[in-house]
């Protein structure tokens, strides 16, 4: 077969979605001519690892370069063109216009794969066009930030944005010994989690020396005579720093498609069907620049994650090769390391459920990552959202020091398979003292939610505390004397759980008893005692520990 007879496949973008597509396409079709255009200098690099090279955790830069153009071509016979930008697409002619070294050329295709990814959002803030303001998307960006951090004169950095990149950059620059100011426009970092869970991270950031500015946005930047920057915030505060890293979010890098006839949503994300096909039959798309359907809500969204990007690239290649494969939507399962803590989410969070008027129940648990008697056990905070009718698991959030990744993956799998709270209680998970407990944290979360669903206990939540009326209700603390010395809820009556049966006479059975303990377990036991003795009662989900998450830090 001569070159003109080969199937001509052009790939735009050479990182996660584009590279996975090209590799899969070659495995399925040895004869096709595949050309990959990447406007940056590198392909198939580990962009999720960039912050960790800045922080010297990943010491060798070359570890991030998973493939070079030469190695990719050698293994997959793909013609890789770096520093070459596709500037327009003509779908009626099935051609693209590419620019390399200021020279433009038109190339024809039989199939076009779009994987341009996202670009950092650069808000139009006065003074942010100076060299000391950086974003992080590419290897070159990483090199610039690392060079700025290595400068002996650099003592302080401002990181703007408390999402994944902002948190990871803040951690790694702090690990390098820099003073770090983290500025976030919202009232919390790590937006995929709910606010009370994110407050665990807020406290940890402050413990690690990060200066946290929430409900704040940058409005001006000015270069001072000593080469420092003066950053003005919406709150009126003025902060001095040596350089700035912008991490306020990303947007689809799709402006080159504006006149192509390829359908884009209002944010510029490429619209595809579940086979990753656009509205143009021979044009496919994958990765961060693609609009997806959220798995739990069926809402349209843009969720930039490496795992989905790789799967989408593979699915597009399958369908071009004649294998009927479809993408099964995106859950938004994500995890973030933050110093000694790990935060992870999957599925629906509470604020989204409320915004979309989705009915849910919720529960909080605080469980050890492994058997408490084995050295090194630490606590994980777990929040579940589940259907109030059949108990179908809708979402989960987990924060802790160790074991978070294991549990969020179990919850993610449960959501994907449509499992219920009852199913969580029955999961047989690997147990040995160094790794878990006989009743794993996942099982425990299931048990607590199951008790709510089965009406063995009625929960109340921290946000309900201001509504407690002492003429109709009694707030009861069932913890030990030692525990209450460290703090208790105002106005609470204290009866330790072990004394409760003998002291029921001290309680007014005409009032509802609002019970709490440290994490909710003894509160549940107290409610079972009270209910079976004729009292009306409710238990504070997650106990005093969850209450502390709501308290300002």
- Residue 148 φ then ψ, to 5°: -65, -40
Which residue is listed with tokens 């989408």?
312
**Between the CA atoms of 341, 347, 349 and 353, what dihedral angle is there, to the nearest 10 degrees?**
180
Order the strands of the 341-347 sheet from edge to edge: 334-338, 341-347, 393-400, 379-386, 361-368
Nearest residue to 219 (alpha-carbon basis) of 230, 233, 209? 233
Between CA 32 and CA 28 the distance in angstroms is 9
- Is residue 48 annotated as a catalytic residue, yes or no? yes
Residue 297 contacts residue 2 (beta carbons within 8 Å): no
Between CA 117 and CA 516 the distance in angstroms is 48
H-run or E-run covering 74: helix 69-76
Residue 389 contacts residue 398 (beta carbons within 8 Å): no
Nearest residue to 95 (alpha-carbon basis) of 82, 111, 84, 79? 111
Q: 48, 221, 517, 537: which is the annotated catalytic residue?
A: 48
Strands 393-400 and 341-347: antiparallel
Residue 553 DSSP label: -
294 DSSP β-pair partners: 330
Enumerate the active-site residues. Answer: 48
């Amino acid at each position: 077969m001569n070159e003109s007879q080969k199937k001509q496949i052009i790939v735009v973008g050479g990182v996660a979605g584009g590279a996975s597509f090209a590799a899969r396409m070659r495995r399925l079709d040895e004869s096709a001519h595949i050309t990959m255009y990447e406007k940056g200098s590198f392909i198939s690099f580990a962009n999720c690892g960039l912050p960790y090279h800045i922080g010297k955790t990943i010491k060798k830069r070359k570890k991030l370069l998973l493939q070079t153009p030469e190695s990719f071509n050698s293994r997959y016979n793909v013609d890789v063109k770096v520093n070459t930008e596709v500037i327009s697409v003509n779908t009626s002619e099935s051609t693209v216009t590419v620019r390399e070294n200021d020279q433009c050329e038109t190339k024809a295709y039989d199939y076009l794969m779009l994987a341009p990814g996202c670009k950092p959002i650069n808000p139009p803030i006065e003074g942010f066009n100076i060299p000391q303001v950086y974003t992080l998307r590419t290897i070159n960006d990483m090199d610039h930030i690392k060079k700025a951090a290595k400068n002996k004169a650099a003592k302080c950095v401002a990181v703007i944005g408390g999402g994944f990149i902002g948190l990871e950059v803040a951690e790694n620059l702090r690990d390098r010994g820099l003073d770090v100011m983290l500025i976030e426009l919202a009232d919390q970092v790590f937006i995929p989690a709910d606010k009370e869970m994110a407050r665990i991270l807020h406290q940890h950031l402050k413990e690690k020396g990060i200066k946290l500015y929430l409900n704040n946005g940058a409005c001006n930047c000015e270069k001072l005579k000593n080469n420092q920057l003066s950053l003005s915030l919406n709150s009126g505060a003025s902060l001095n720093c040596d350089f700035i890293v912008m991490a306020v979010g990303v947007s689809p890098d799709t402006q080159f498609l504006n006149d192509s006839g390829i359908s884009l949503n209002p944010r510029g994300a490429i619209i595809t069907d579940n086979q990753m096909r656009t509205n143009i039959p021979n044009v496919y798309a994958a990765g961060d620049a693609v609009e997806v359907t959220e798995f739990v809500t069926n809402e349209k969204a843009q969720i930039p994650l490496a795992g989905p990007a790789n799967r989408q690239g593979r699915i597009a290649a399958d369908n071009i090769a004649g294998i009927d494969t479809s993408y099964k939507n995106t859950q938004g399962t994500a995890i973030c390391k933050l110093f000694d803590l790990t935060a992870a989410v999957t599925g629906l969070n509470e604020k989204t459920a409320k915004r979309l008027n989705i009915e849910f129940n919720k529960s909080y648990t605080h469980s050890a990552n492994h058997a408490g008697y084995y050295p090194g056990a630490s606590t994980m905070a777990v929040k579940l959202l589940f259907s109030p009718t059949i108990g179908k698991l809708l979402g989960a959030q987990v924060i802790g020091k160790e074991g978070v990744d294991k549990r969020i993956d179990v919850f993610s799998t449960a959501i994907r398979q449509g499992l219920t709270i009852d199913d969580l209680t029955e999961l047989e998970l690997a147990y040995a003292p160094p790794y878990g407990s006989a009743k794993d944290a996942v099982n425990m979360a299931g048990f607590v939610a199951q008790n709510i669903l089965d009406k063995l206990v009625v929960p109340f939540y921290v946000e309900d505390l201001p509504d407690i009326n002492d003429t109709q209700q009694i707030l009861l603390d069932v913890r030990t004397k030692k525990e209450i010395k460290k703090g208790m809820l105002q106005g609470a009556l204290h009866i330790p759980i072990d004394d409760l049966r003998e002291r029921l006479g001290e309680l007014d059975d005409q009032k509802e008893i609002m019970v709490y303990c440290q994490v909710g377990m003894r509160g549940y036991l107290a409610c079972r005692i009270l209910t079976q003795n004729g009292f009306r009662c409710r238990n504070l989900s997650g106990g005093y520990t969850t209450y502390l998450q709501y308290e300002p830090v």
